[in-house]
């Protein structure tokens, strides 16, 4: 034992035995989902099947959003220079930052602040929402999680909340997020629907995740998407092409259903 | 349409409508697993539930291997300087390279070469294995996918193949991988068991993935593990500490079961 | 001209003609130093030879600090996995963050705050230093740029200020930095000498650089150092070795002089 | 001393004493150039002033090439998401890969192969060039270092060789590079001038650098350029803008001279 001895509570590695958070890994294989493993790794406890299902739905909702997000464009730019897959993915990950993905964490802080007001000041969800909106407007700060540059009624948000209700995950944070939409309409006169970042923020609050892990869910969801774009770049395009950020046409299959 | 117009066949984004590989994303949410989405994104087709389950088991098997892999150590080193989560994850991803994770792709090439010999030269799996081993020994090249510095009988390999059999995914590539183990024993006198990289390589061959995507499965699996280590570093350790690569003790829970 | 038309004021590229900030690049080659180019790129004006010499001395002072900084350890960890040179350098760059290199920017803010106090409140440099030290102590915040874990009298600081005086670059910011050392001794009773980060901070203030560029000087200085360590790793060490963060011995030449 | 004890021959760090390759760092400050430090770090010996001047000219020649290189575009894309300076630089570095910057290393290998032929087969530079060109044409492989998409007579190449002659650095490798241009004209009928990558390759061969360090010179040169573009992005553009890869106009100063 050296003077640099340290401790970790995540995975125990012994010859022919691997345990994650106290569970033998081979016993988990085939029994629990990848989404449950994410929860187990982050929180140290095995979630219920329903909570696992909620996380899985969040991940599925965010696997890809086409070619225009900066994470895809930085990944493709690097891939186009002949860099290996992992370096291209890393460049994509470096784009998942304050203005791209960061809204989930920002919105979690807003919702947690709202819930604090509800509890500490004995106010309604609606009153708490109005109070925060007023505060943000007075300092001209944008409320993360509301409004979208493409979608006015994001189908992912609708479905996330529908499933959250079915799974018993939806609670006061989901109600608070919806109270914000009503309060925004009243205060600003504008329809600023909850976007997918806001919906995920509410659900991560329901499952009591630390806001600094918010971006992790977005990264985990997007890695397969990034890989598929990098693979398409490497197999379909010429190296060093000039990548236009918007003049791109979808030419894949249409209208498939399960 | 500019002269830089280009095409992509992955995701179609329209106002209030998002489709991945032709499937409406909100219809997939709650119905298919994250693992199925990985397959859909990479191959353009929705896999069966069983194939999805196989991929999920592969991902679960590889979420973490403790603190010693270089991907964890580079991620922790960056995290320790106060860098944000995504930059720390990116540094981990940059370590998933030739000698760390790369064995899956190398082993896929070996198995595909073996299957070529079987088909083209009408040989048995065992004969093909011997031929490749002999070739590798003559140029003193190591066979990726066999042997492990910690595990002599990796419980993950055993479980992966058990589940592959149950799901009907196991076929000639799994048999070929096992033929290699027998042939290695005969040729070298050593027990060089198939390691988890080799097992995953065989299963990715069974599901007909392009070997250049091999590393992607390892990256996707490991991102949650990397995040949990980075989170532990940021919440449990002092910034700029000296990170010993091996003198680390597991102090988490033990002996849990589902 | 598309609706995404944008403008940049750095480099004009025409066939057989390249101009940086208005100067033909081939006319600069052989006439100005790399350090002058750094200034030209960052500020848009060609600096005097003396200012160029000051920047060059700063860069030379910071090219390397042995194997223990996290930027070297993350770069070596990535290099050890067989990753290419540029990915290894990128991992090093990702470590040049808040607690590693970041002190230069922090100290620039402190010195600029001090100079504000001097000007706005008509105080002496010493009084301004005491005021800031008192403020930092009251909120238990550490003053970046003072004290060093290895060096009590950093030879680089001494030489930087000697040269700054010779070149006519040293002015009120250098005096203010020195006033902080005296004020720290008086206030805390401790000898907390200006470290190399603090000295560079004072000099960058003298040359009126934006503090958000502070880290750039450290990165530019360190890239050659990182490359030399990565090259040593790739040519002298085995892949995937366990890299001890401190148990390393210098075995190069000693006692050379110009 | 632990069992992970290792050795490094680059920098010795002692309290109040720092030596690089055996030279006290504070004695080098003010006496040697940054470019000489690059040579010292990479090769372990202090170069002559002339060799330092040659490296400095190479670095100055390559500091920037406008907004279109992928290293700039990936850095800007990441910067635009609100990522910090170092993460943006890292994304730029990840683009300095096979097809962007990589030509220097490729061309060094070609020139070294040519010189081998000259020595081993007692051929003229011209004959060696023809032999390699013929070999490359037979396998339809492109010769790196010759031809440029923008410049037919790159002013940087002309100036690099002029200075190399003045400094006494130019020798047989420069002649060989020029022999290739003549041989290409004869063999293909096309004017394929030596580009700046090819010129740098010839000069790095003259100074006997290991080809795997070729990319390092390009990275070191470009970091200040990348920083200036990232700084412009952060101070002049809105976050998350769509970055057009070519529709960009230079609006800086013109016609300046020293």
> For D46-88, how does the pLDDT look when each residue is reduced to its tens digit (9 = 90+)?
999 999 999 999 999 999 999 999 999 999 999 999 999 999 9
What is d(CA D129, CA B21) in angstroms, rounded to the nearest whole number?
Answer: 50
Q: How many CB pairs under 8 A join A and B?
A: 364
User: How far is CA B217 from its chain centroid?
Assistant: 4
Q: Is the pTM of this model over 0.95?
A: yes
What is d(CA C54, CA A4) in angstroms, rounded to the nearest whole number?
Answer: 39
Shortest CA distance from C255: residue in chain D? D22
Shortest CA distance from B247: residue in chain C? C244
CB C192 within 8 A of CB C177: no
The predicted pLDDT at position B150 comes to 78
Asked if B90 is an interface residue toward chain A (Cβ–Cβ < 8 A), one would say yes
Positions in chain A whose pLDDT score sits under 50: none
The predicted pLDDT at position B131 comes to 96
Q: Which residues in chain C are contacts of D257 at CB distance < 8 A?
A: 23-24, 27
Coil/strand/helix, residue A17: strand
Q: Is the Cα dihedral D182, D186, D187, D189 positive or negative?
A: positive
Asked if A158 is an interface residue toward chain B (Cβ–Cβ < 8 A), one would say yes
What is d(CA C230, CA C75) in angstroms, rounded to the nearest whole number?
Answer: 7
Positions in chain C whose pLDDT score sits under 50: none
How far are the Cα atoms of A72, A240, B12, B40, B190 from residue A66, in angstroms, in the given order? 8, 20, 6, 14, 50
What pairing do the DSSP bridges indicate for beta strands B11-14 and B17-20? Answer: antiparallel
Closest by Cβ to A242, choosing from D81, D94, D246: D246
Write down which chains contact chain D via at least 3 CB pairs under 8 A: A, B, C
Tell me, what DSSP letter sits at residue D142? -
Beta bridge partners of A7: B249
For the residues B134-145, what does the mean pLDDT come to? 94
- pLDDT grade, residue D153 (50/70/90)? confident
- pLDDT grade, residue D158 (50/70/90)? very high
Asked if A8 is an interface residue toward chain C (Cβ–Cβ < 8 A), one would say no
Residues 6+ apart with CB under 8 A from C169: C50, C51, C54, C203, C206, C207
Q: Which residues in chain A are contacts of B44 at CB distance < 8 A?
A: 252-253
What is d(CA B183, CA B135) in angstroms, rounded to the nearest whole number?
Answer: 13
- Distance from the Cα of C121 to chain D's closest Cα (Å) equals 30
Beta-carbon separation of B4 and D84 below 8 A: no
Asked if C120 is an interface residue toward chain D (Cβ–Cβ < 8 A), one would say no
- Report helix, strand and coil shares of chain B as percent, to nearest 5: 55, 5, 35
Closest by Cβ to A87, choosing from C4, C87, C245: C87
> For A161-182, how does the pLDDT look when each residue is reduced to its tens digit (9 = 90+)?
999 999 999 999 999 999 999 9
Beta-carbon separation of B4 and D245 below 8 A: yes
Write down which chains contact chain C via at least 3 CB pairs under 8 A: A, B, D
> For B52-93, how does the pLDDT look when each residue is reduced to its tens digit (9 = 90+)?
999 999 999 999 999 999 999 999 999 999 999 999 999 999
CB D205 within 8 A of CB D140: no
The secondary structure element, H or E, covering residue A241 is: none
- pLDDT grade, residue D151 (50/70/90)? confident
- pLDDT grade, residue B149 (50/70/90)? confident
- Distance from the Cα of B214 to chain A's closest Cα (Å) equals 10
Asked if D100 is an interface residue toward chain A (Cβ–Cβ < 8 A), one would say yes
Write down which chains contact chain A via at least 3 CB pairs under 8 A: B, C, D
Tell me, what DSSP letter sits at residue C120? H
Task: Tell me: ipTM over 0.85.
Answer: yes
Query: Mind giving me the DSSP string for B173-233?
Result: HHHHHHHHHHHHHHHHS----B-HHHHHHHHHHHTT--GGGHHHHHHHHHHHHHHHHHHHH
Q: Which residues in chain D are contacts of B245 at CB distance < 8 A?
A: 4
């Amino acid at each position: 034992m050296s003077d640099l001895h340290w401790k970790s509570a995540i995975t125990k590695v012994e010859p022919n035995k691997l345990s994650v958070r106290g569970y033998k890994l081979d016993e988990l294989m085939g029994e629990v989902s990848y989404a449950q493993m994410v929860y187990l790794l982050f929180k140290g406890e095995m979630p219920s099947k329903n909570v696992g299902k909620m996380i899985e739905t969040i991940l599925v909702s965010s696997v890809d959003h086409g070619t225009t997000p900066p994470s895809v464009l930085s990944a493709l730019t690097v891939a186009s220079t002949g860099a290996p897959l992992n370096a291209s993915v890393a460049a994509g990950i470096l784009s998942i930052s304050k203005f791209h993905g960061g809204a989930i964490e920002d919105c979690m802080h807003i919702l947690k602040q709202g819930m604090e007001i509800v509890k500490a000041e004995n106010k309604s969800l609606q009153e708490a929402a109005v109070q925060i909106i007023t505060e943000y407007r007075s300092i001209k700060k944008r409320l993360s999680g509301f409004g979208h540059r493409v979608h006015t009624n994001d189908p992912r948000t609708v479905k996330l909340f529908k499933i959250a209700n079915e799974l018993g995950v939806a609670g006061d944070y989901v109600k608070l997020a919806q109270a914000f939409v009503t309060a925004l309409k009243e205060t600003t006169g504008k329809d600023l629907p909850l976007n997918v970042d806001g919906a995920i923020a509410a659900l991560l609050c329901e499952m009591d995740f630390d806001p600094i892990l918010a971006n992790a869910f977005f990264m985990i969801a997007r890695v397969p998407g990034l890989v598929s774009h990098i693979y398409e770049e490497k197999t379909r395009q010429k190296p060093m092409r000039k990548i236009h950020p918007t003049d791109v046409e979808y030419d894949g299959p249409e209208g498939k259903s399960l």
